[in-house]
Structure 1
Amino acid sequence: MRLIRLFPDDSKFRFVRWRVLSYPFSAAISVMTIVLFVTMGLNFGIDFTGGTLIEIQAKTGKADPGVVRALAQSFEVGDVEVQEIGSAGDISVRFRTQPGGEAAQSALVQRARAAFEKDYNIRRVETVGPRVSGELVQSGTLGVVLAIFAVMAYLWFRFELQFAIGAIIGTMHDIVLTLGFFVITREEFNMTSIAAILTIVGYSLNETVVVFDRTRELLRKYKNLPTPELLDLSINSTMSRTVMTATTTALSLLALVLFGGQAIQGFANVMLFGVVICTYSAIFVSSPMLIYLGVKTSARAAADDKAEAAAKAAAISRRPA
């Protein structure tokens, strides 16, 4: 029985030459993401903004967000966000943090329950205070930053400085584009999103390290091969594994997107996007970066050093006495 090959074993695609297109494309998307992030910001969830979130489901199977919004605004408790989620009968109602502390929040929840219970089933109620939300912001940001520094230290120890820098550039590229996904789609950014970003960091580094490990192996084997050709050989030799990993992971996430339900759909959407971006960056961003970071075969590096020394000697000999 023949095994299924998602990518030919003897492929000789010249991936690295596409850096002339992938780098401008990634730079443009990253700049656009930063501009949108500054101007529009993220759609922070209840975890980070504080307040009360109530999810309701219409008993009749249909719900009118306009009617729900009017009913919620009749409470006169400030800005209210009403959004349809999932099927047409599910709606989320978000109230801002109320002055008066926990007592005011509890009173608002009781008032909302009394108003909605006649026509809607109360599916979920969450209340987060401003102090807790501020601590979550600090903890989430600190967790991402420490994870990046820990990974950079590991890669520096595991490989060389050039490889570590290349991997971190690719990882930062993936994080920026993932934030762009949140900004453009207005997907709610909460603690689950932090977990998704950390998972994407791990997946991105896993994809990159596999290619880098093969590159380091081939650096010893092909001492006179030009760096772009050696990188192409590294990518092609690991492409079967890359395609298999990305395909199986994407199919699992697609199942979660379609059948996982509202509670996990946001995480699955971000992760599905992340798998595509991480696979792209490992091939077209991180690996070609090694050319600019000065990674060379030992014979090539020795030849370059010899040529540089000869040039310096020639320059000295031409100096007037």
Structure 2
Amino acid sequence: MRLIRIFPDDSKFRFTRWRALSFPFSAAISVLTLVLFLTVGLNFGIDFTGGTLIEMQAKAGHADIGAVREAAHSFEVGEVEAQEFGQGGQISLRFRTQPGGEQAQSALVSRARETFEKDFEIRRVETVGPRVSGELVQSGTLGVVLSIVAVLGYLWFRFELNLAIGAVIGTLHDIVLTVGFFLITQEEFNMTSIAAILTIVGYSLNETVVVFDRTRELLRKYKNLPTEELLDLSINHTMSRTVMTATTTALSLLALVLFGGQAIQGFANVMLFGVVICTYSAIFVSSPMLIYLGVTTSTRAAADDKADAAAKAASLSKPGAA
């Protein structure tokens, strides 16, 4: 039985020539990310800023989110987030940390109970203080940094120097553009966002390793092929797998975005963006970058000839060698 091929095995698309567009595009987005990070900043959620979360269930089975939001804003306690989640009149209210410490937070919770308990069942009240939120920021940042260091270390030992540097650049590129997504869209950045970033790092690593493994194989096989043609060949050889993986993952995430509800929509949005960016990066950023990192078929051929000569000399130097 013949297997279905989404992308032809004998395709000869010249992907590397698009680096004239992909490199400036990625550089522009990276610069924009840096500017927004320094000027606008991330939209930190209650996990990092501290505050109070109240989850309620409408007794009537449905709720007027507009009326709830208006009532919450009438408290005049600063920014308030009111969102529906799940089904059947479930609403979450998020209040920022109030001046006055725990006493002010407790007064806010009491006022919210008095206002909404007639029409709603208060199911959950969670307060995160400034100290706890600061510890979460430190722990989350440390977790991301250590994970990235571990991934980069793996890439360094997994490939030769030039290929490893290309893989590292590709992974960092995906992280920067993911942070740019948070800055541009002002999607709430919380502990779930950190989980999304770490998942994207893993996906990026997977995409890059697949393409670079084929590149390394072809470097050994075609020692006289021009470097650009060899890189295009490695991308074309792995394109069916890349398209199938990206398509199935994106369809699953799209279902979560459309039908998953408010509770996981933020995570799904970031992951869907990450899949697109990682696929784009593996094809149009990481692989063409090898051209500028000195990965050439002639260099590989010289290295292989040198290794063969050294092995032959070692075998002849052994006692009893003919």
Which of the five TM-score ranges fits, normalised by the shorter chain? 0.7 to 0.9
Contact 2:65 2:84 in 1 (8 A): no
Contact 2:15 2:283 in 1 (8 A): yes
Deviates more, 1:157-166 or 1:239-248: 157-166
User: Aligned pairs, how many?
Assistant: 301
* One-letter amino acid matched to 1:277: I
Q: Distance in 2 between matches of 1:9 and 1:121?
A: 59
Deviates more, 1:20-29 or 1:81-90: 81-90
Deviates more, 1:252-261 or 1:7-16: 252-261
Q: Distance in 2 between matches of 1:258 and 1:69?
A: 23
Per-residue deviation, 1:236: 0.5
Deviates more, 1:219-228 or 1:174-183: 174-183
Q: Distance in 2 between matches of 1:123 and 1:63?
A: 18
Q: Identity across aligned pairs (percent)?
A: 82
Contact 1:63 1:91 in 2 (8 A): no
Alignment partner, residue 35 of structure 1? 35
Alignment partner, residue 25 of structure 2? 25
Q: Distance in 2 between matches of 1:214 and 1:258?
A: 36
Per-residue deviation, 1:278: 0.3
Q: Distance in 2 between matches of 1:157 and 1:300?
A: 18
Q: Distance in 2 between matches of 1:64 and 1:267?
A: 22
Alignment partner, residue 228 of structure 1? 228
TM-score (norm 1): 0.85
Alignment partner, residue 215 of structure 1? 215
Q: Distance in 2 between matches of 1:170 and 1:83?
A: 38
SS at match of 1:7: coil
Per-residue deviation, 1:57: 5.7
Per-residue deviation, 1:73: 4.3
Alignment partner, residue 79 of structure 2? 80
Once the two structures are superposed, residues 107-147 of structure 1 have per-residue CA deviations (whole angstroms, 9 ceiling, x without a partner) of: 42232122112234546433111111101111111111111
Once the two structures are superposed, residues 64-100 of structure 1 have per-residue CA deviations (whole angstroms, 9 ceiling, x without a partner) of: 53x4455334445x31323444689665432222345
Per-residue deviation, 1:105: 2.6
Per-residue deviation, 1:148: 1.5
Per-residue deviation, 1:40: 1.8
Alignment partner, residue 147 of structure 1? 147
* One-letter amino acid matched to 2:269: N
Contact 1:19 1:285 in 2 (8 A): yes
Alignment partner, residue 315 of structure 1? none
TM-score (norm 2): 0.85
In the TM superposition, 1:228-307 aligns within 5 A as 228-298=228-298, 302=302
Q: Distance in 2 between matches of 1:4 and 1:55?
A: 48
Alignment partner, residue 129 of structure 1? 129
Contact 1:63 1:90 in 2 (8 A): no
Q: Distance in 2 between matches of 1:171 and 1:182?
A: 17
Q: Distance in 2 between matches of 1:200 and 1:251?
A: 16
SS at match of 2:125: strand
Contact 1:15 1:283 in 2 (8 A): yes
In the TM superposition, 1:150-189 aligns within 5 A as 150-189=150-189
Counterparts in 2 of 1:92 and 1:186: CA distance versus 1, 3 Å: farther
Task: Name the Cα RMSD after superposition.
Answer: 2.4
Q: Distance in 1 between matches of 2:111 and 2:150?
A: 47
Contact 1:211 1:234 in 2 (8 A): yes
Contact 1:226 1:300 in 2 (8 A): no
Query: Which structure 2 segments of 5+ residues have no match?
Result: 304-322
Alignment partner, residue 199 of structure 2? 199
Per-residue deviation, 1:169: 1.2
* One-letter amino acid matched to 1:137: V
SS at match of 1:82: strand
Per-residue deviation, 1:222: 0.5
Contact 1:170 1:281 in 2 (8 A): yes
Per-residue deviation, 1:156: 1.2
Q: Distance in 2 between matches of 1:209 and 1:114?
A: 57
Once the two structures are superposed, residues 262-291 of structure 1 have per-residue CA deviations (whole angstroms, 9 ceiling, x without a partner) of: 222211111011000000000000010011
